[in-house]
Amino acid sequence: MNKKLLLALGFAGMASISVANAAEEAATPAVAATQSSEWNDDRFYVFGFGTFVQPGGDRNAASGWGTGAAFGKIINEYFNVELEGFWQGMNQNGAPNLGGATSSFGTGGRSDTTGGTANLLYFFQRDTFSPYVLFGLGGMNTSSTISGPNGSVSRSNSGFIFEAGAGATYELADNFLLRADVRYRGDTTPGGISATNPATGVTYNSNTSVFNDLVVNAGFVIPFGDKPDQVAAKPVAAADACASKDSDADGVNDCDDKCAGTAAGTKVDDQGCPIVMELKGVNFHYDSAELTEGAKHVLNGVVDQLVAFPAKKDIEVAGYASFEGNKAAEKHNLQLSQRRSESVAHYLKHKGVANKLFAKGYGTEYPVADNKTEVGREKNRRVELRWMGD
């Protein structure tokens, strides 16, 4: 195997390793996050390239060079399609694979190939470095001239070709990328190749059905138009999800809620932080500050919520009484509301609430309902937790 073939195979090996590494990284969460973006780039592009071709031994030719161009379109995040045309030249070592013809035709000559393919590219990721695999189908014409001491022969034959390979692009700017790939090419032309020695009139036929070539293309890609901004899908989805959720049922969606986990029944501000919690069901024995068993059960639930809630601001335990229409009882009601608020504060602290608690009795001040009805007076006989400002 000559040095050029070793060089080409080495290039192919490095490209295969790059593609394998990229595929492995695509399975990791970091790359998966990159690929999760909403892909909206659908530009057309041109790919201009130079070619090195190393023919298989069955072609009986030396390595050569060529050039070509492709016109393509980005379909989505993973696929491109393109139409490609090319020309390549190779020096003949003799008549290519025409049994016994080498000695008859001599050892000099040249072959020129022109053709085109329709290619499908699959990208493992779209980033600054973007590896891909390629599959192509098309046709190729081979024009050869073999000359020697017994005369010369010119011929032109056409056949179908198929290609498969791997490569990568490297983005230098939005509208300029480097690109290279390595391909195996199968050429079906040999089935129709034959040549006749003009000196002897003997016809020689090719003794192979497919020519096998290694092709290396390298060049640059120029997309048309401005590159669209890629909008990350996951953050948008997360934003949509939190905007439609209210995990602590405080009336403020999770996106805007600065105090997640607010205890149930708490009045909050526009940022979801607690202001007031009315302790519904917290009752006392008649004309006493002693908690009923039902009140203790309610307060046990409040303790669990306050312990779990991360905000540890100071809390005022505010006690209120109803107005029974007797001005003389005002002082008594004020004192009773103070004792009842102290009773609640003591119970919460004893059960493990870490916030600083300040008991305050307000008597019949700040009614929330009409004291003229029993229903209203019952609502006014209440205890509230009020979160104090910074």
List the CATH number of the domain containing 64. 2.40.160.20
In a domain, 25, yes or no: yes
| pLDDT of res. 235 | 53
| pLDDT one-digit tens code per residue, 220-235 | 999 999 988 765 444 5
In a domain, 262, yes or no: no
Nearest CA among 307, 335, 117 for reference residue 215: 117
| pLDDT of res. 35 | 43
| pLDDT of res. 336 | 86
Q: What is the DSSP letter of 356?
A: -
Handedness of CA 342, 343, 345, 350 (dihedral sign): positive
CB 176 within 8 A of CB 221: yes
| pLDDT of res. 184 | 96
CB 94 within 8 A of CB 102: yes
Regarding whether 294 and 177 lie in a shared domain, the answer is: no
| pLDDT of res. 23 | 45
Which residue carries 């540890």 as its tokens?
312
Regarding whether 143 and 25 lie in a shared domain, the answer is: yes
Of 195, 223, 251, the residue at which a domain comes to its end is 223
Regarding whether 137 and 28 lie in a shared domain, the answer is: yes
In a domain, 237, yes or no: no
Domain limits for position 334: 279-387
For the chain, the distance separating the N- and C-terminal CA atoms, rounded to the nearest angstrom, is: 82
Q: Which residues of 154-168 are buried (b: 16+ CB within 10 A; e: fewer)?
A: ebebebebbbebbbb
Regarding whether 283 and 201 lie in a shared domain, the answer is: no
Angular region, 224: left φ>0, alpha ψ -120 to 50, beta rest: beta
Regarding whether 16 and 163 lie in a shared domain, the answer is: yes
Q: Which two tokens stand for residue 163?
A: 């290609």
Regarding whether 286 and 218 lie in a shared domain, the answer is: no
Look up the pTM and report it.
Answer: 0.50
Q: Which two tokens stand for residue 339?
A: 């004792």
Regarding whether 125 and 21 lie in a shared domain, the answer is: yes
Domains identified in the chain, total number: 2
In a domain, 228, yes or no: no
DSSP notation for 223-264: E-SPPPPPBPHHHHHHHHHHHT--TT-SSS-TTT-SSTTPPT
CB 335 within 8 A of CB 361: yes
Where do runs of H (alpha helix) occur along the chain? Answer: 3-26, 29-35, 101-105, 233-243, 293-308, 330-350, 374-380
Regarding whether 283 and 139 lie in a shared domain, the answer is: no
Strands 151-173 and 129-148: antiparallel
| pLDDT of res. 329 | 78
| CATH classification of the domain holding 362 | 3.30.1330.60
| pLDDT one-digit tens code per residue, 303-341 | 888 888 766 788 898 888 888 767 777 888 888 889 889
In a domain, 130, yes or no: yes
In a domain, 133, yes or no: yes
Regarding whether 132 and 53 lie in a shared domain, the answer is: yes
Of 194, 223, 252, the residue at which a domain comes to its end is 223
Q: Which two tokens stand for residue 222?
A: 């120029």
In a domain, 232, yes or no: no
Low-confidence ranges of the chain (pLDDT < 70): 1-38, 92-109, 146-153, 191-207, 230-240, 310-311, 325, 390
Regarding whether 142 and 10 lie in a shared domain, the answer is: yes
In a domain, 266, yes or no: no
Distance CA 374, CA 21 (A): 78
